[in-house]
Chains A and B, each alone.
Chain A
Amino acid sequence: MTNVEHSTSAPDAKAEVRRAVASLSEKAPNAGSTTSDLSIDEELNLHSIGWEPVQLVSGLSVFSTPAGLWRWGQGEIVAAGEAHEQAFKNAIRRLHSEAAMAGGHGVVGVHVERSVYSTHIEISLLGTAVRPVGAKAVDASVVFVSDLSARDFTMLMVAGWEPLGLATGASFVYAPRRTVGTVLQQQSQNVELKNFTEAMYSARETAMERMQRDALALRGSGVVEVKLIEGPMSFATHAVGFAVWGTVVQLAKDAHQFVRPMMVVSLNDVDEAFDPSALA
């Protein structure tokens, strides 16, 4: 408990709690219920810039991929990339329509759950729809979706930027087989396996390009908090996958608002320096 937080709530905290608890004996408000998975800190952050949570929303899609897709082959495994892209698109579209229906102007803190199996790909999104306090509902087409936390969303808005949507890209590529001759030749050496390196590069390039295409389609100037997952598939180690996603942003005001941080010296050092293992 830092002294800064203490001083903001301390003066009349007890009276405030008494007043709050006493109000429980009154009738519940007959308003529409809101739901959110935000922490109280995140909600306070949103409040500070005049936004509020509306409803917990989700979007999901499962796409099948052709049988035998992951067997040895050459180049990109096109159908897997397509299934990934379409599953992401449908999940986002459903998130948009749920958010718009709930009266949200955007969705923040979207958790992206992504499972790639040998026969199907599942994308599941969950987040909280938010809006400027009391604002009217807008059309699903202008609702934004962002995996930024409410805290990061607040900072982004304060700096004069706005989120536009999620951009994603994925690509799966076969690492070509080495010939028996090459395998034998390389067996006793320290050698780079160019087939794998090149497959990684190829998957990376295609996936990043697709994400960029998404960002441009949303008329964004960039993508922040890009997450990436790469590596061989657990069920097909001769195939490598690369997937990226992030929040597309653009400058909403005339210029970037520099948010000058305040320097603070924490007085908590002694506590933090305490190491229980030192007692042993």
Chain B
Amino acid sequence: MTPPSDLPEAAERRLSDGAFSSGLSVSDFAACLELGLEPLGLAQGFCAMQQGAYAMGGLSRSVSPYGGTQGGYVQNYQCPHGMISGEHRMWGQNYQQTWVESAWNEGFRSSYSRMLEEATQLGAHGVVGVVDSVSRLTDANVTEFHIWGTAVRVRDTPAATATPWSTYLAGQRLAKVFEAGYVPVSIVASVSSIRVWAYCVTEYLMEGSAGMWANSTAPTEIEQIVSAKSQVRSMVRASARNQLHGDALHGATLILGDREFAKGDLEVEAVLRGNRIRRYKDFDPLPVPQPTVRLS
């Protein structure tokens, strides 16, 4: 099921040329050989994505305070005080920035599938030791996605026909995944992004709860912020789970980021990465670990 290739011609020539390249350390390389995985080449994929700067964000906001979202999670907050002044934040909103998420997902998936395409070209069964880097290319909303890993062939098996499997692990840690009765399926990455427009109560609480309009000076939970940050964490996990189709997500890392663009205008973002793995044999626990003291 090799798709029509759009690899650069030079890359095709290089990849068909015999000598292998690999991103593995020497010990990981040795462990891979021990598992019968033969490195074929360093497969890579790139994608630079521009994210529409104001995609439905600020522009339509002047028309209606509750406009400007594109589906997904939305939560509105109403000022309890009544009309006070032009500067008073009469409304607030948390909303999912679906266009930010889809730009990220598209960039990640494109570079991932380009990496797999190179691996397929090499006749790989899988890609191990995957590394991804997501970085800002310029400050004009352009993000560069670069994913690379070592394409491997499983020795003494028929030639690869399916899309290669992939994992962030390599070497000993990969060996232990098999030991635990799992087989790697693919890497998984998902993103979730929420914009927070603070309403008056959130604004005053963020400035310290003794603001003029607050009810008391006691410590108070800032509900709008808690809700946005909890939501971003749930959404990113739900979206990763949707990519699992009954398999397990292992070794996940969650990276959280907050940005405050202006007073009361926040963005909270979460990125979850991990390895999708599948159990291929029954639960077979190792003996209870024996503590050791090293005499050196």
Q: Which residues does A use to contact B, with CB under 8 Å?
A: 1, 5-6, 8-10, 13-14, 16-25, 28-41, 43-45, 47-50, 52, 56, 58, 60-69, 79, 82-83, 86-87, 90, 94, 118-121, 124, 126, 133, 154-155, 158, 259-266, 269
A12 shortest CB reach to chain B, Å: 10
The answer on a CB contact under 8 Å between B226 and A56 is: no
Q: In the bound complex, what is the Cα–Cα distance between A179 and B96 (angstroms)? A: 54
B233 interface residue (CB < 8 Å to A)? yes
B140 interface residue (CB < 8 Å to A)? no
Determine chain A's interface SS by DSSP, over half rule.
mixed
Task: Count CB-based A-B contacts (< 8 Å).
Answer: 232
The answer on a CB contact under 8 Å between A40 and B250 is: yes
Q: In the bound complex, what is the Cα–Cα distance between A31 and B283 (angstroms)? A: 15
Interface centre among B165, B180, B246, B287 (most CB of A within 10 A): B246
B103 partner residues in chain A, CB cutoff 8 A = none
B240 interface residue (CB < 8 Å to A)? yes
Determine chain B's interface SS by DSSP, over half rule.
mixed
B285 partner residues in chain A, CB cutoff 8 A = 47-50
* Contact (A13, B35) CB under 8 Å given A28-B247, A63-B220: yes
B79 interface residue (CB < 8 Å to A)? no
A24 partner residues in chain B, CB cutoff 8 A = 162, 165, 183, 185, 278
A82 shortest CB reach to chain B, Å: 5
A40 partner residues in chain B, CB cutoff 8 A = 169, 173, 176-177, 180, 250-251
Residue in B closest to A134 when the chains form the complex, CB atoms: B283
B219 interface residue (CB < 8 Å to A)? yes
Which of under 10, 10 to 19, 20 to 34, or 35 or more describes the interface residues of B? 35 or more
A124 partner residues in chain B, CB cutoff 8 A = 229, 256
The answer on a CB contact under 8 Å between A56 and B237 is: yes
Q: In the bound complex, what is the Cα–Cα distance between A48 and B233 (angstroms)? A: 30
The answer on a CB contact under 8 Å between B221 and A28 is: no
B64 interface residue (CB < 8 Å to A)? no
Tell which of B165, B283, B288 touches A133, judged by Cβ atoms closer than 8 Å.
B283
5 cross-chain pairs, A with B, having the tightest CB-CB distances, nearest first: A67-B208, A14-B36, A83-B219, A20-B183, A33-B244
The answer on a CB contact under 8 Å between B288 and A158 is: yes
The answer on a CB contact under 8 Å between B249 and A17 is: no
